[in-house]
Amino acid sequence: MKKYLLLALAVIGFAGAYAQEKPVNWNFTAKKIADKTYEVHFTANITGNWHIYSQTVGVDGPVPTTFTYTKNPLLTVEGKPKEEGKLIKKKEEAWDGVVNYFEKTVNFVQIVKVKGAAKTNLAGKVEYMVCNDEKCLPPVEVPFNVNIGG
């Protein structure tokens, strides 16, 4: 019984500590770039000495930043998001290789095309992982919903 109580307290303590650390703030916007074509910007602002991993990390281990979209028959998503920011490539012994990540800020830009003239939205989630020189936090999923068209 004591084991279960200690485990429960440890989980609650970890969850509380994790809730206090929010090293990434996301901003989601859309910009029309041509007729029925939009750029959706997923901007990550990273605080302190944390870093967020690229969509192509470079090694097995850290969780890459990934975008998952809710199906929308009014939209066509073109490829995967382009990364805009200062990409850092660094050999890290913890991951046994060279990893790709961003510090301070990174903007992921997804091109979408609207079918017709209807106002719609691009919804989904972004999953990412952050680390610093001392530790990594568990992967996090953040939902988004960006208005497009109209």
Distance CA 67, CA 142 (A): 10
Q: Which amino acid is at 80?
A: K
Q: String of b and e for 96-105 (b: at least 16 CB within 10 Å)?
A: eeebbbbeeb
Q: What's the whole-model pTM score?
A: 0.84
For strand 120-128 and strand 140-148, is the pairing parallel, antiparallel, or unpaired?
antiparallel
Contacts of 123 (CB under 8 A, 6+ apart): 69, 70, 72, 143, 144, 145, 146
Q: What is the pLDDT of residues 18-66, one digit of tens each?
A: 446 799 999 999 999 999 999 999 999 999 999 999 999 999 999 999 9
- 23-148 maps to which CATH number? 2.60.40.1250
Q: What is the pLDDT of residues 65-108, one digit of tens each?
A: 999 999 999 999 999 999 999 999 999 888 899 999 999 999 99
